Structure 1
């Protein structure tokens, strides 16, 4: 190419000038880092071809050791620049465990010669689907979990298809036994399609009727019935998922076909126990977590190489510790060992990778390992909403608030009705002292449901920081009604009493927390009340106890406003250093 010639790549509203090294959108320059531009250039120059991660790392960072997470961060930044949203990737496709592909139609033009164009066919728009819990027509209470289990299994299978965005099980649980129409449910979850079904068991056989419905028109795209022996339930999952992909006229890659055909559990009895375990875990109670652990252990007794059961076990142990039901020292090593065993069996299991990332984050306080594993989990399953939420919490704890907002936004796009995600998405505002913005986000959570206790709890926290004490008290009362007098509710209430001058009431809360301590209560909960009272020695004493018990609350030590009065204390600074913050 002569010096007078310039090479341009055009796609959508964008024009990439490889000579001037600039990206234009509708003729206007787009701000981006140099490495982000180089990443985009490599992708566009190889449009339509799968680029392996190692190849991209060697090209963009020659003769330099760079973690895969750095490449992931560049891809994420590019998606933001290109205006991509979760599940609507028109430009960059992630091929889990392998690399990336530029999938938009690209025109290549050399200015100074007759224009020439080399084009790729544009990628079809992704479809979003909600799989509703299948309705059991049997009255047996033992079948209450079966409809949820059927939906969960299909969600897992369909999530392996890159051109389909599937709402997670947590998003559809509220519609179990609900009288809402499928169209209403689909609109609530902002999806294109809804898959629903009915199950009738008779002796050793099961009949399932299912249909895929267009949310906009209400018309069924596909409907069918299936009769199988109950012991061959896996074949039923395969048939339904295959018919759904056929109805969407999706061309599967060989890797996707392999993952669809690969059962995560091969034994029928183990499968039923696993479904019961997930059903109990999704109850989100101490009893439910304990029962799920029992079920997952039974699955492993039957099938010692069941990776998904180990991942479930990891989640259950982690949840017990996170919610303060057991000591982290007791539960988190079990969670970590279970996650590692799951990955040893199946290194491509995103659920296990996310569980391991959570262990590194909440228990080991190994920030580099945590971030690497969060990025890996997203790479394995780019539409896995809860990973973006978890990574957002990690970035919040690290004080990287702007980056956290990007990942919370992506989580909401993937699961817009999740109360946990919508509530978590206000944390980075709260911890960065942007209380009004936090309250605005949490108001969106209340619009989804007014009965999620965590939302009321954190709204109360923001009101305390704004010195709106009466409003805070009202929110804490609602949280207590919904959650009970948990350590977090008691701690927040005690802190409120302390900062508004009700010192005796605050001390009474401390006494109540200490009584709970004979069982287990996060030591940091007591430290928070003492911080509100201005009793630094006692607050630091209980923070030290929290350090000894590896309290997960310490990950927010550097950003939590309740500890601002301790930050000048050399003992507090030393504690931050020991937690690697």
Structure 2
């Protein structure tokens, strides 16, 4: 045996008195037998574990390093530490010791272990397991007092060891991931804003339930400790106290959050209910017909845009007959998918409905059309019309013709010659339908450009296609209103003037002319044309919309508000009605009610950038900065648009954050370079940022654009206001004074 081995043996020699047996607190250790007697129960301990226990006992109250234990037990300080961990766990199991509240072996993190129990001679205690004598309880010692932790530290250790802690952490991480997933999926599925809150509420309430279930399972095991020694019972009750406290705190937090979520959900539901409860019951009108959406096969070979415009084009075609009035497409589509005949009667007041389905087998397309009496639920007329898929245009014409004649038959009136689709070129009609589909759903200039291309293509294929001319007219008007591009206004004037010469499009033509006169500032002529459209058809709701806008320009705000409320009553499910009513309220300075209308529009059209931008502007004027920033950022995320960039820039400007304001105003003018307001705002930000030369050039650009736009409407008070401010910035004091006098003489009721 070498000298190193002899030194190791000498250093690690165990006292013979310990090998003979001893008492450790109230436990008897018999090394020679390899057993431990605790609570009248004899337990075996492996030789390796017994040697480690003896080594710790020989070094009682002293730190024994991990390396020293590895060297003693395994002869190598680099031995696998998991061997030592397993042995210590085995010793604790037999001694019924607890890592968090030890009475025998104390763990010194990253250092080693220390035996803290009292050692005494085994003769002081009867060592036979069948004596039945009363056990001696462990005495308190200075060492134990030294190892007592602060109460909070002790409780925290117990909590970390509890399954409740790990379950709660895992559950909260799962909730966070699910919320992220819901936040992405719900808008795609058109789930309302309160739907996400309901989902979060369910998840949050599930947390204390999961903790309670875990605790009940764990308590079954912990009950076994009742029969064990006093130290175990003390640990058990301490664990119970910590568990109850933790569950109580979590329950209180969940209760508070649930109360907040329920209150928020109720507010959202009330808003939603208000949106759809303007007209709960409408008197039945015998001459009123509702054209419902037609059903298509899931695996249809027909173009998607054909399916999305089929209902609207049928309504537009049938509006040329004089026997029945038709419910607007927007009001019909407000109904739930599972509507009943009673819903049609109660919500729309329609005596008849037209519905049907379109079937195609890859070669032929078949349209089944029904006209149903809602009061009796009897089918008044039905037809089955079939054509080759390549003859879609002829198929639609035949559907329109037969349905038109059936309506005359029900009204007991003679059928007239009916021609609505005035083209025989299928490609022209196909382009027209695609343009109509885009025009019906767009709120940005890029999509308007796409619609314009489709209408131009249709007219290139058939120059006499009047419906395509009407679509192009409306596209140019919408483009001018969004971008203030003068060329768009000139093109609208060119294409809209000829529409009134077509009998079928006369009402649409009068509305287009009314819009042209309104945009040029001639509101008297605009109102005359809107009224002419309403004389032809009381269902020309765009004429009512035009009247509201003209009345705003004429400062007749009471009448304007009445027209917008009329639109909402007649089409309570159409998002644009709430958006434009909100714009009106915003214009007259009623920002609080404007935000309410924008919120309703958001519920109906949650992923629209313009709606989100308008809502952000209203929140900003209500001084709700946090909501304003979120709404504007959401608008830009949905679709980068100049209005949102400008509104966000204004919010930053008034917060004296001029550098960011400049960036957002620049983004706005890049997207809408013809808008003088955006250029003027950019000039203001540059001026306050100390960029005097840049601001002067920007002001000149804005002033040139104002003068260009005033050629269309020289009396536009908004343009006059911008012009006055720019003239003062550019040191044109005399001109500015003239403008001020002109604006003052108008005595406008304007918050600005």
Give TM-score, length-normalised by structure 2.
Answer: 0.51
Deviations 1:448-507 (A, max 9, x none): 34333333222222222222222221221222222x221111111111111233222212
Superposed displacement of residue 228, structure 1: 4.3
* C-alpha separation in 2, matches of 1:578 and 1:541: 27
The aligned counterpart of 1:117 is none
The aligned counterpart of 2:464 is 305
User: Superposition pairs for residues 143-292 of structure 1, below 5 Å?
Assistant: 143-161=303-321, 164-169=324-329, 180-183=337-340, 190-193=347-350, 194-201=353-360, 205-212=364-371, 222-228=381-387, 230=391, 232-233=394-395, 234-244=397-407, 246=409, 249-250=410-411, 258=416, 261-269=418-426, 270-284=428-442, 286=445, 288-292=447-451
Matched, 1:349 2:490: no
Contact residue 641 and residue 668 of structure 2 kept, 8 A: no
SS of residue matched to 1:198: strand
Contact residue 679 and residue 699 of structure 2 kept, 8 A: no
Superposed displacement of residue 396, structure 1: 1.8
The aligned counterpart of 2:525 is 369
User: Superposition pairs for residues 181-580 of structure 1, below 5 Å?
Assistant: 181-183=338-340, 190-193=347-350, 194-201=353-360, 205-212=364-371, 222-228=381-387, 230=391, 232-233=394-395, 234-244=397-407, 246=409, 249-250=410-411, 258=416, 261-269=418-426, 270-284=428-442, 286=445, 288-324=447-483, 328-346=485-503, 349-362=506-519, 364-482=520-638, 484-516=639-671, 520-528=673-681, 541=700, 543-550=702-709, 558=717, 570=737, 573=740
Superposed displacement of residue 195, structure 1: 3.2
Superposed displacement of residue 553, structure 1: 12
Shift in alpha-carbon separation, 1:559–1:302, aligned structure 2, 3 A: closer
Contact residue 195 and residue 211 of structure 1 kept, 8 A: yes
Superposed displacement of residue 308, structure 1: 1.9
* C-alpha separation in 2, matches of 1:446 and 1:137: 29
- Choose 552-561 or 190-199, whichever is displaced more: 552-561
Contact residue 148 and residue 173 of structure 1 kept, 8 A: no
Deviations 1:150-177 (A, max 9, x none): 32221013323566443444566799xx
Contact residue 345 and residue 374 of structure 2 kept, 8 A: no
Shift in alpha-carbon separation, 1:447–1:203, aligned structure 2, 3 A: closer
Shift in alpha-carbon separation, 1:173–1:184, aligned structure 2, 3 A: same
Superposed displacement of residue 215, structure 1: 7.1
Deviations 1:354-406 (A, max 9, x none): 222222223x3333332222222222322022222232123223322111112
Superposed displacement of residue 296, structure 1: 2.4
Contact residue 188 and residue 417 of structure 1 kept, 8 A: no
The structure with more helix, counted as a fraction of residues: 2
Deviations 1:500-557 (A, max 9, x none): 332222122233334446xx35222232455689979889656533324428998996
Shift in alpha-carbon separation, 1:496–1:287, aligned structure 2, 3 A: closer
Which runs of 5 or more structure 1 residues have no equivalent in the other structure? 1-84, 91-122
Contact residue 420 and residue 504 of structure 2 kept, 8 A: no
Shift in alpha-carbon separation, 1:574–1:534, aligned structure 2, 3 A: farther
- Choose 490-499 or 129-138, whichever is displaced more: 129-138
Superposed displacement of residue 338, structure 1: 0.8
Shift in alpha-carbon separation, 1:562–1:414, aligned structure 2, 3 A: farther
* C-alpha separation in 2, matches of 1:251 and 1:277: 37
* C-alpha separation in 1, matches of 2:448 and 2:293: 23
* C-alpha separation in 1, matches of 2:623 and 2:315: 45
SS of residue matched to 2:497: helix
Shift in alpha-carbon separation, 1:511–1:199, aligned structure 2, 3 A: same
Deviations 1:165-201 (A, max 9, x none): 43444566799xxx93354996699324553322234
* C-alpha separation in 1, matches of 2:357 and 2:471: 26
SS of residue matched to 1:323: helix
Contact residue 199 and residue 206 of structure 1 kept, 8 A: yes
SS of residue matched to 1:262: coil
* C-alpha separation in 1, matches of 2:644 and 2:712: 14
* C-alpha separation in 1, matches of 2:510 and 2:592: 35
Shift in alpha-carbon separation, 1:213–1:474, aligned structure 2, 3 A: farther
* C-alpha separation in 2, matches of 1:410 and 1:334: 31
* C-alpha separation in 1, matches of 2:338 and 2:429: 29
Contact residue 530 and residue 543 of structure 2 kept, 8 A: yes
Shift in alpha-carbon separation, 1:549–1:372, aligned structure 2, 3 A: same
Contact residue 397 and residue 555 of structure 1 kept, 8 A: no
- Choose 230-239 or 211-220, whichever is displaced more: 211-220
The aligned counterpart of 1:132 is 293
Superposed displacement of residue 214, structure 1: 6.7
Give TM-score, length-normalised by structure 1.
Answer: 0.65
* C-alpha separation in 1, matches of 2:323 and 2:632: 43
Deviations 1:97-142 (A, max 9, x none): xxxxxxxxxxxxxxxxxxxxxxxxxx965525243155256533x5
Shift in alpha-carbon separation, 1:161–1:347, aligned structure 2, 3 A: closer
SS of residue matched to 2:463: coil
Deviations 1:283-313 (A, max 9, x none): 4255543343333234334443332221111
* C-alpha separation in 1, matches of 2:421 and 2:649: 47
SS of residue matched to 1:227: strand
* C-alpha separation in 1, matches of 2:373 and 2:651: 49
Deviations 1:201-247 (A, max 9, x none): 4677531013345779987665442234635331221112333565x
